[in-house]
Amino acid sequence: MDKSLCRIIEKLSDVPDGRCLDIRHSLNICEKNSTADKQTADGQKAAIYMIDDTAVPKNARLRTETYELYPGIELSFHCYLASKFHIRHSHSASVLSVDHCRAGRIGWEMKDGLSLYFGSGDLSFHFTDKCADSEITLPLGYYEGLTVSMDLSILNKKMPELLEDADIDMKELCYKFCGKKETAALPANSRIEHIFSEVYDLPEQMKLPYLKLKCQELLLFLNMAEPAKEKALDPHYSDQVEIIREIHDRMTGHPECRYTIDELAREYLINTATLKNIFKSVYGMPVASYMKQYRITKAACMLRESDLSIAAIARAVGYESQSKFSAAFKDIMKILPTDYRRQYT
């Protein structure tokens, strides 16, 4: 199993299926009406909510932990296991959401008919009124990341003391990233990795002071960044994304079939270049690479859990030649299928 997925499953060990665990660390007094309250090592009060919401699918497990860093600035850690779900949240044209993906992929429909997807290491920006009550999709079935929420209606009146010396114009910063398209995403790079690489697994007693410093570092980075010179990740029309999902479900539902791009493009009335571009944007890989990974992952499961011959498993996932299947399996799993099965018998 993927190391990132194992880590997410472990972090969700206290969350039952069909539930969303929401933990909030407030700078002030503990919020009321929570399932449980606790005093954390950083001196903050934590309010813990176990939300049983009809918008959370029965097989989904969601966890969000939010730290109020300053008046007007919050940082939230997210761990999700699901294919899709809705999360209702407060929304405002004055609240800028900056999202970083640590693992998996995530996408949501914006109110303007566009869908934005991004993956490991990427950074996205949007105002929260653009995605309120929209459907969130996890193309890989899991996601780990964080959100820095900045309320301009508060920050424009009074910037936190630690951030005042940075001389950051929040209105100008927001316009730089969201002024024209209202949503934007930057692809992973070493500068983004440097900011976020250490924030996810901090000891509890270090979190608040360290996250405050990282918030300052993030704002300084964004203030100096030139998104116009970056190869930004573009949103796509939601109706086109839905077609790509249907194509994905068709291919993964019948891994024994070898569909061609041209064949699928004709059947679903979509341009071949658009198909390939949006598929990679949503699922993080070209079609051929994704399906190779999917077929071999499915074959590995069958090798562990069934008594079918290797030849039969190869045919079930679209390989008529057992030798080609063995080569593909070794390329992905770094071991021959015969040796892989032997580990589980």
3-class DSSP assignment, residue 276:
helix
Give residue 297's pLDDT: 95
What six digits make up the tokens of 253?
A: 């539902």
* Residue 1 pLDDT level (bands cut at 50, 70, 90): low
* Residue 135 pLDDT level (bands cut at 50, 70, 90): confident
What CA dihedral angle connects 97, 200, 57 and 59, to 10 degrees?
A: 160
Q: Which residue has the higher pLDDT, 94 or 292?
A: 292
Indicate the CATH number for domain 285-345: 1.10.10.60
pTM: 0.85
Helix axes 238-253, 272-283, angle to 10 degrees: 80
Q: How far is CA 126 from the centre of its chain?
A: 15
Among 14-18, 44-48, 275-279, 298-302, the least confident range: 44-48
The DSSP code for 101 is: E
- Alpha-carbon Rg for the chain, nearest whole angstrom, is 22
Query: What's the mean pLDDT in 334-342?
Result: 95
Query: What's the mean pLDDT in 338-345?
Result: 91
Return the domain boundaries, the chain.
3-234, 238-282, 285-345
- The amino acid occupying position 289 is S
* Residue 32 pLDDT level (bands cut at 50, 70, 90): very low
Architecture in CATH of 3-234: Sandwich (2.60)
CA distance 51 to 49: 6
Q: Are 61 and 81 in contact (CB under 8 A)?
A: yes
pLDDT at 7 over 80: yes
